[in-house]
Structure 1
Amino acid sequence: MTQHSLLVRGIWFVLVGWWLTPIVVNIAWALTVTIVLAPIGIKLLNLVPTVLTLQESRSFTNPELARGQHSLLVRAVYFVLVGWWLSFIWANLAAFLAITVIGLPIAIWMANRLPFVTSLYRFHG
């Protein structure tokens, strides 16, 4: 999978990304606080960079970049103690910043780090 051009990503953000991201973030967060639906919520949170700006993860197409992740046990403990509530604050702050011109670069940076904030997942964008 190749990255979309900056123009396409910019058009996506202006037409879709800025309003869809807060919806996805809050649905994902609601799913993560349940035990049964948490894996779906975490998957949605990992897709936030794509929803915001069509940023594709290179780790999905290059297994070498996916190496070096924390163990599932460490990530699960982190998520239970910190990730579930910190990701909610982080993601909503990023969504708020995304609707401002000045805050947009910070919002994109924050969205790209949301998978790590949530579950220590290294998103290789």
Structure 2
Amino acid sequence: MKQRSFLVRAIWFLFVGWWATPAVVNLAWFLNLTIIGIPLGIKLINLVPTVLTLKEPRSLANPEAAFGQRSLLVRGVYFVFVGWWLSWIWANVAAFFAVTIIGLPVALWMFNRLPVVTSLYRFDG
């Protein structure tokens, strides 16, 4: 699957991505507060780059790239001890940058790396 054009992704961001991304992040964090909701919460955080700018995960763009991910055990231990709190801070700092035109490029970069900060999930390859 190929990435969508820059124009399509920019239009998506202007009309949907800028408001949908904070909603998805907050829903994911609400789900992460419950044991039952953690799997769905993590999945939503991993989809933040797609919600933000329609960026395709590397596993869809290049299926062989999915084999380079860290093991689920390593990612789980990282999430329990580091990812849950660090990604909350990361997402809020990104949201702060997003409200300024000068900080918008940094916010986009940070939101695109949110899956790595949360659970070591490498989104792009």
> Could you say whether these structures have the same fold, taking a TM-score greater than 0.5 normalized by the shorter chain as the test?
yes
2:11, 2:28 → 1: CA distance? 24
Identify the residue that residue 22 of structure 1 maps to in structure 2. Answer: 22
Work out whether residues 33 and 84 of structure 1, in 8 Å CA contact, stay in contact via their aligned partners in 2: no
Work out whether residues 90 and 110 of structure 1, in 8 Å CA contact, stay in contact via their aligned partners in 2: yes
Work out whether residues 75 and 119 of structure 2, in 8 Å CA contact, stay in contact via their aligned partners in 1: yes
1:32, 1:124 → 2: CA distance? 23
1:60, 1:93 → 2: CA distance? 28
Identify the residue that residue 96 of structure 1 maps to in structure 2. Answer: 96
Work out whether residues 13 and 52 of structure 1, in 8 Å CA contact, stay in contact via their aligned partners in 2: yes
TM-score under structure 1 length normalisation: 0.92
Identify the residue that residue 112 of structure 1 maps to in structure 2. Answer: 112
Work out whether residues 25 and 92 of structure 1, in 8 Å CA contact, stay in contact via their aligned partners in 2: no
Aligned Cα root-mean-square deviation (Å): 1.3
Please report how far the alpha carbon of residue 112 of structure 1 lies from its aligned counterpart in structure 2 after TM superposition.
Answer: 1.3
Larger deviation, residues 60-69 vs 102-111? 60-69
Identify the residue that residue 56 of structure 1 maps to in structure 2. Answer: 56
1:33, 1:70 → 2: CA distance? 24
Distance 1:13 1:99, change over 3 A: farther
Work out whether residues 25 and 48 of structure 1, in 8 Å CA contact, stay in contact via their aligned partners in 2: yes
What SS class does the counterpart of residue 68 from structure 2 fall into?
coil
Q: Percent identity?
A: 71
The letter for the 2-side match of 1:85 is W
Listed as ranges, the gaps of 5+ residues in structure 1 are none
Once the two structures are superposed, the pairs formed by residues 42-53 of structure 1 within 5 Å of their partners are 42-53=42-53
1:32-69 CA deviation, whole Å, 9 max, x = no partner? 12111101000000000011111111212422111221
Listed as ranges, the gaps of 5+ residues in structure 2 are none
- The total of aligned residue pairs comes to 125
2:59, 2:52 → 1: CA distance? 18
Identify the residue that residue 32 of structure 2 maps to in structure 1. Answer: 32
